[in-house]
A = this chain, B = another copy of it.
Amino acid sequence: MAHSDNSEACARVAVDWGTSSFRLWTLSADGQVLARANGPYGMASLSKQDFAQVLEDQLNRLSVDRHVPVLICGMAGAAQGWCEAPYLQAPMALSQLGLGAVRVPDIERQVHILPGFMQTQPCNVMRGEETQILGLLSARPDFNGVVCLPGTHSKWVRLSEGQIAHFTTCMTGEIFSLLCHQSVLKHSTAGKGWDAAAFVEAILQMMSAPASLADSLFGLRAQMLLEDLPPATARARLSGMLIGIELAATQAYWQDCEVALIGEASLCRHYATALASQSVAVDLLDSEAMTLSGITSAFTQLRET
């Protein structure tokens, strides 16, 4: 896309600051990405007093003027993060997201952190995903359906009239990683490759018999010992079992609904395949684009400070 000379000046900075990662974009006045930065500066690796310096280093590296406003989404706003941005409570309209932003005190720059969402019946929380959903609504304000954000902690979010109406969380990615790397199954799932048929078969097994997860996992190890089960098959079957029981648990969300997937592209394709086995078509949306669109939209919602 062609940039006018005007747009080359950095007008805003967007940051997605998660548990394990840090991503920053400098944006022109018309919303074009001028530069990117990222690194392993996640909340989990920082203490409270480190955040300001990490941000300052990145902004200096990109020569961002001191007057340029910065807006952050994600775990940096958690109680254990940089500066707590208290949760908004669902159901609530995403047009309120920027109004819940908290300005980081005691620093020269104008830095705001966006809040997450909470729900009490039953208890649930998110931080970061709400911003991507705002990005989706910026592009499609009439979207009344379900957003699935696959990942370490997959979110399923029902949107209604611009509100986050209800949501739930599945620890699918975290459990997959623990089982693949730290359990007895690590011997069976190492390496690369993917067995698409085994994945779908496992999805169907979990949809019809979710309890069988409990006594099917060890079978991957046994089948490797006794029948040389290929690691690509074991890994795809393990992923299919975990995504399958996630789909079984969240059926009330996706059944007869318009479903949008936001997340890492290859993982979203697995979720699309899994949902297709249940005759559910999905829209695949780019994760970075939704984050940027959400933060850009939230900038316009900030209170004057």
Interface residues of A (CB under 8 A from B): 79, 118, 120, 122-125, 153, 156, 168-172, 174-175, 178-179, 182-185, 206, 210-219, 221-223, 225-227, 242, 245-246, 248-251
Contacts and interface: CB of A to CB of B under 8 A. Distances in A.
Main secondary structure of the interface of A (DSSP, over half): helix
Contact of A218 (B171, B206, B251): B171
A170 B123 contact: no
A215 B123 contact: no
B250 A170 contact: no
B215 A170 contact: yes
A40 B215 CA distance: 28
Nearest to A222: B123
Contacts of A212: 249
A171 B224 CA distance: 16
Contact of A214 (B79, B122, B248): B248
Contacts of A218: 124, 153, 169-171
7 contacts: A169-B219, A171-B185, A171-B214, A178-B182, A178-B183, A210-B214, A214-B249
B124 A245 contact: no
Contact of A249 (B124, B170, B215, B246): B215
